[in-house]
Each structure stands twice: as C-alpha cells, then as structure tokens.
Amino acid sequence: MKIHHYLVLILACLLATASLADPKIPTSQRQQELMQLLLDDCGSCHGMTMNGGLGPPLQQSNLAGKPDEYIFVTIRNGTAGTPMPPWHQFLTDDEIYWMIDVLRKETWKKE
C-alpha cells in the first residue's frame, strides 16, 4: 500500500468520527446569546415563561410526544400560515438542536 492510501484511510476515519459525534455544542458565550434569544425573541410570542401567548406554550409537557425532527423543522423553516418565522438565517442546525434540548430539559428556567 502506498503512503497516500494510508492518508486517505486516516482522513476517512476522521470524517466518519466527526459525523457520528453529537451535534456541536455552542460555545458558552453563544449559549448565553441563545438563551437570551429564547427568552426574549421566542418569548415574545410563546411567553417568557414558555406558557404561551399568541404562539402555543413550549413547556416540557407541551413538547412531550413531539419528535425532535418536527420541532427542528418548525424552528428552522417556520410554519406557513402562522406567525412562526423561519430561524435558519440566525441559527445553525446544531444550535437549533441545542435549543430543543434546552426546552426539553427546561434549563431556561434557571435563567
């Protein structure tokens, strides 16, 4: 085996590990920004305590039974015909999954 074959193999392994890893956790500074965005901007329709407003409540119990993928698509692309806007301009996919986790675990309550 030639040396560049080894290199390709190593590279392929590295890539495979990267894609299998958990979604990238935002930096602590970014986490703070995201938490603020959740409370202020999501909160402007869903309530600062996620008890709902013009938009539906987003408490742990409200999200139970709704798969991550459904919530992800709702946040990423918005919901046509409702005021829910798409957030993909402002949030990466990893950040959206991180926020779903925050909602599910209600870690925002500590803020």
Query: Looking at beta carbons only, is 16 or 54 nearer to another protein?
Result: 54
Q: Is 40 in the site for another protein (CB under 8 A)?
A: yes
- Applying CB under 8 A, which of residues 35, 78, 102, 106 lies at the interface with another protein? 78
32 lies in the site for another protein, by CB under 8 A: no
List binders of another protein among 79-98 (CB under 8 A): 81, 83, 85-86, 90
46-75 binders of another protein (CB under 8 A): 47-49, 51-54
Count of residues touching another protein (by CB under 8 A): 19
Contacts of 96 (CB under 8 A, 6+ apart): 72, 75, 76, 87
Q: Which residues bind another protein (CB under 8 A)?
A: 36, 40-41, 43-45, 47-49, 51-54, 78, 81, 83, 85-86, 90
